[in-house]
Amino acid sequence: MIAFEDQTTQEKTPCLVVDAEAFAANVKAMAQVLPGLRLRPHVKAFKCTELARKLAANGHTAFTCATLSEVAGMIHAGLGADLLLANETLNVEQMRDVVALPGRVTIAVDSPETIAAAAAAGVTEVLIDVNVGLPRCGCPPGQAGVLADVARAAGLTVRGVMGYEGHLMMVQDRVEKTEKVSDSMALLAQAAADVGTDFISAGGTGTFDTNTVATEIQAGSYALMDTHYATLESPFVQAIWLEATIISVNTESGYVVADSGLKSMGMDHGNPAWAHGKVWFCSDEHVTMAPADMSHWSVGDRVRLEPAHIDPTIAKHERMWFIENGAATEWPVDLRHW
Taking only the tens place, the pLDDT of each residue in 46-102 is 999 999 999 999 999 999 999 999 999 999 999 999 999 999 999 999 999 999 999
The answer, yes or no, to whether residue 245 has pLDDT greater than 60, is: yes
Residue in 31, 45, 46 with CA at minimum distance from that of residue 320: 46
The alpha helices in the chain, defined as continuous H runs, are: 20-33, 49-57, 68-76, 92-99, 112-120, 144-153, 174-195, 310-314
Sketch out the chain's domains with CATH numbers.
Answer: 20-222 (3.20.20.10), 236-332 (2.40.37.20)
Taking only the tens place, the pLDDT of each residue in 112-150 is 999 999 999 999 999 999 999 999 999 999 999 999 999
Confidence category of residue 2, pLDDT binned at 50, 70, 90: very low
pLDDT, position 10: 75
Tell me the pLDDT of the chain averaged across its residues.
96
| Percent of the chain scoring above 70 in pLDDT | 98
pLDDT, position 3: 38
Enter the pTM of the model. Answer: 0.95
Look at 3-17, 191-205, 236-250, 312-326 and tell me which has the smallest mean pLDDT.
3-17
Taking only the tens place, the pLDDT of each residue in 186-214 is 999 999 999 999 999 999 999 999 999 99
The answer, yes or no, to whether residue 1 has pLDDT greater than 70, is: no
pLDDT, position 34: 98
Residue in 89, 31, 100 with CA at minimum distance from that of residue 65: 89
pLDDT, position 239: 98
| Percent of the chain scoring above 90 in pLDDT | 96
pLDDT, position 6: 53
Confidence category of residue 7, pLDDT binned at 50, 70, 90: low
Query: Stretch 221-243: mean pLDDT, rounded?
Result: 98
Confidence category of residue 306, pLDDT binned at 50, 70, 90: very high
Residue 266 DSSP one-character state: B
pLDDT, position 4: 42
The answer, yes or no, to whether residue 5 has pLDDT greater than 70, is: no
Strands in the chain per DSSP E? 15-19, 63-65, 83-85, 105-109, 125-130, 157-163, 200-202, 216-217, 240-250, 255-258, 273-274, 277-282, 287-291, 302-306, 319-324, 327-332
The answer, yes or no, to whether residue 166 has pLDDT greater than 70, is: yes
